[in-house]
Amino acid sequence: MTSTAALDIRKFIDDRPVGRYQLLVATMCGLIVFVDGFDAQAMGFVAPALTAALQISRGVLGSVISSGLVGMMIGALVSGPLADRIGRKPVLIVSALTFGVGSLLTATAQSVESLMAWRALTGLGMGGAMPNAIALTSEYMPRRRRAGAVTMMICGFSLGAAVGGLVAASLIPRFGWPSVFVVGGVIPIVIACVAAWALPESIRFLVVRGGADARARDYLSRIAPGEAVAGPLSPGHDEHVSSGAFVVSELFTNGRAVATILIWVIYFMNLLNLYFLNSWLPTIISDAGIRVETAIRLTSLFQIGGIAGAVVLGRLLDRTFSFWILAGCYAWAAAFVYAIGHAGASVTMLGLTIACAGVGIIGGQNASHALSSEFYPTHIRSTGVGWALGIGRIGSIVGPIVGGWLLAQNTPMRDVFWAAVIPAIMATIAAAVIATHRRQTV
């Protein structure tokens, strides 16, 4: 290579094995997503103790939970465009600090109004963290390992939610419900402080923005120690500097409009289903005549199936990066959501069908993150993922509401899950249309 030849950063990363520095990036992002998952599920863990301590009804508590989801939606919509302007790292760190502080403030709440305010603040941080963790992990991984790395990193969210239940069960009897939010506040603040020192900025973002080649070369030398990084830097053959237009509008340029709308449909429908099932599965199962303790254990299989699905789908996407895999995943989800409704009171059949539904719904959500992060170029990647998640958060708000309405109508179990099949089918169709009608260029 001559001194004047441009070094293609994408090719530089793609041509090398995953090293310790890239694993550090994925691990730091995974830790932030882990505590994101802990804080996202914290309100559900403390609900019984909280309603008793503050003497509030379940209906009012639903408003508190919704305030957090609304905050997550706004955080995702705002943080993406902001990160594409100023960088992934600062937005990711500020997001972690925000939901850490919000969680600590939640521990001090003495009224419904303060609970709603602090949960909304916590949600802002949580909504901002996820799209930037996805974008940063994606941009540090070679293409052949990118999808698997992103899906594995996102598994931190499910692990955080699962660990949060164990932590809450130990803390609440001894220290009361605020202790869960204290833990959920201190840990992300500590991780954010470490990340401020250890986490790098996206290399391709630095080059696309311009004026930071020295930092970019430093990060490249850490990926490939001992190799010379000389000459001008290029983010890749398919990258370009932003036109300066309103960054969200760029999601609809260069032939991306139809695919962007369909990605939003996928996120909306699948997150509607995910939060519907997370919110109401234990109730529906217990109404079928199964003990509440058993219903909770069966519901946990939904998360376990999701982690297994993410691992398998990540490996598949590393080999064949296609929206057809996502379409097949959601078709699988539709089949097993339908099967849950026909499992009756059989613990064995419920366990099998719930775990398999988790493979499709939670695993499919993780796969969606991998596909969408690679679909958008560097200069709008955080915006693309952030807005998809923001639109999806609307579905996460609608899902529990629809489930509550169905149960209030004494809808039979089979019909409830028939209704839940519809979003999975719509997500399947949307993914299939993208796969069929859009040329894959990544």
Task: List, for the chain, all residue ranges whose pLDDT scores fall below the cut of 70.
Answer: 1-5, 58-59, 62, 236-246, 292-293, 296, 438-442
The type of residue at 229 is: V
Q: What is the pLDDT of residue 238?
A: 54
Q: What is the dihedral of CA 337, 343, 344, 348, to 10 degrees?
A: -120
Q: What is the pLDDT of residue 428?
A: 97
* 3-state SS, residue 413: helix
Q: What is the pLDDT of residue 439?
A: 53
Spatial contact of 387 and 80, defined as CB atoms under 8 Å apart: yes
Phi-psi map region of 289: left, alpha, beta (phi>0 left; psi -120 to 50 alpha): left
Half-sphere exposure for 362 (CA within 13 Å, toward CB): 31
- What is the rounded CA–CA span in Å between residue 63 and residue 138? 35
Q: At what angle do helices 178-198 and 20-54 cross, to 10 degrees?
A: 160
Phi-psi map region of 210: left, alpha, beta (phi>0 left; psi -120 to 50 alpha): left
The neighbour count for residue 247, using CB atoms within 10 Å, is 21
| Cα–Cα nearest to 382, from 29, 49, 34 | 29
Domains of the chain, first to last: 1-238 (1.20.1250.20), 242-442 (1.20.1250.20)
Q: What is the pLDDT of residue 232?
A: 79
The neighbour count for residue 166, using CB atoms within 10 Å, is 10
The secondary element (H helix, E strand) that includes residue 66 is helix 58-86
Q: What is the pLDDT of residue 58?
A: 61
Q: What is the pLDDT of residue 59?
A: 64
| Cα–Cα nearest to 139, from 376, 324, 329 | 376
The secondary element (H helix, E strand) that includes residue 309 is helix 292-319
Alpha helices in 107-224 (DSSP H): 112-140, 143-175, 178-198, 203-209, 213-223
List of long-range contacts for 113-121, beta carbons under 8 Å, 24+ apart: 115/54, 115/64, 115/67, 116/63, 116/64, 116/67, 117/67, 119/43, 119/64, 119/65, 119/67, 119/68, 119/71, 120/67, 120/68, 120/70, 120/71, 121/71
- What is the rounded CA–CA span in Å between residue 40 and residue 160? 9
- What is the rounded CA–CA span in Å between residue 435 and residue 74? 29
The neighbour count for residue 320, using CB atoms within 10 Å, is 10
Q: What 8-state DSSP symbol labels residue 200?
A: P
Q: What is the pLDDT of residue 350?
A: 92
Residue corresponding to tokens 């830790």: 31
In angstroms, the Cα distances linking 18 to 75, 136, 139 are 31, 15, 12
Phi-psi map region of 109: left, alpha, beta (phi>0 left; psi -120 to 50 alpha): beta
- Euclidean distance between the first and the last CA atom of the chain, given in angstroms as a whole number: 25
Residue corresponding to tokens 């470490």: 194
Residue 167 CA to its chain's centroid (Å): 22
The secondary element (H helix, E strand) that includes residue 271 is helix 257-287
The secondary element (H helix, E strand) that includes residue 366 is helix 347-375
Q: What 8-state DSSP symbol labels residue 111?
A: S
For 330-356, the pLDDT digits (tens) are 999 999 999 999 988 888 999 999 999
Determine phi and psi for 233, rounding to 5 degrees: -110, 140
For 93-122, the pLDDT digits (tens) are 999 999 999 999 999 988 888 989 999 999
Spatial contact of 228 and 217, defined as CB atoms under 8 Å apart: no
Q: What is the pLDDT of residue 441?
A: 42
